[in-house]
Chains A and B, each alone.
Chain A
């Protein structure tokens, strides 16, 4: 109970300047994180340089909760590459392996078929109705490396958003009550 009255006291004794200072520090931290993220996007050439594996369709290689590092180089996409792609109209990226490639030289059309290692069938069932192939514009990047288990925090926060609010609330409270 002494803790509660201490906290109430410290909130009452807040000076405006201190609060502003701490808000600015917080803003700097957030901006730095944003700069790092955008910088990574420039270096790797893809819009999502880091993705979390959400499904078990690439097991046992990639488990749910792993983090994948992607790049998008000018190298052509070849069979066996693990690519991240978006289906038109859906915003969840999918990470699967390319199993078929057909390329035309004259028109630069390139067609790819993908399949998850752990899926019995190829990805035609995932593509849009009437779509049988992926094209270059659907591919967002190629997986080059990964770190296991590191993505679980993201999965928990997106599946139980209440945890996100609890965390942000607790952080805000900490910012306001630390005497620095």
Chain B
């Protein structure tokens, strides 16, 4: 009952259990401020109706944000992405991710980037002419261990051109 084997086993089990608890609780030490990003649509590159009837638009965006306040000792990476949200008669909610990036260092969390949309902005239908849409910047904080947190800022008031070009 008191052999080395038993003691080693009991110690090991206890240590692993405590480690598991600590990993799970690690993210309770994090706290965040709200960054305020800004996004501009620099230009609409082209806007067409595909052969299968769906509208597609390509645009160049200028995105700048400062997410440095999200980084703590427990942050492994911040996944940031920009989604366009709009309403159509057929689909009451549409969310299309246009661009995303993975930030692993705090220095890189303050950035300004000019890019065309990384993922194709395709509607399921032909509803995009003159369409008003919101651009929402989302960020997901992935910790080294523990609970993941996500938040976003909605930037309303963008509008697509009324005609194809």
Chain B stretch 48-75: residues in CB contact (< 8 A) with chain A: none
B96: interface (CB < 8 Å): yes
**Complexed CA–CA distance, A68 and B119 (Å):** 27
What residues on A are CB-neighbors of B150 within 8 Å?
Answer: 80-81
**Complexed CA–CA distance, A180 and B76 (Å):** 47
**Complexed CA–CA distance, A80 and B148 (Å):** 12
A41: interface (CB < 8 Å): no
Known: A60-B76, A79-B83. A104 touches B147 (CB 8 A): no
**Other-chain residue from B24, B79, B96, B138 in contact with A117 (beta carbon distance below 8 A):** B79
Write the nearest CB–CB distance from A171 to chain B, whole angstroms. Answer: 13
Binds B, one of A8-16, A20-28, A143-151: A143-151
**Other-chain residue from B24, B79, B94, B138 in contact with A102 (beta carbon distance below 8 A):** B94
A99: interface (CB < 8 Å): yes
What residues on A are CB-neighbors of B27 within 8 Å?
Answer: 145
B96's nearest neighbour on chain A, judged by CB, is A100
B93: interface (CB < 8 Å): yes
Q: Is the CB of A99 within 8 A of B124?
A: no
Q: Is the CB of B79 within 8 A of A61?
A: yes
Write the nearest CB–CB distance from A179 to chain B, whole angstroms. Answer: 10
Q: Is the CB of B148 within 8 A of A103?
A: no
Write the nearest CB–CB distance from B116 to chain A, whole angstroms. Answer: 16
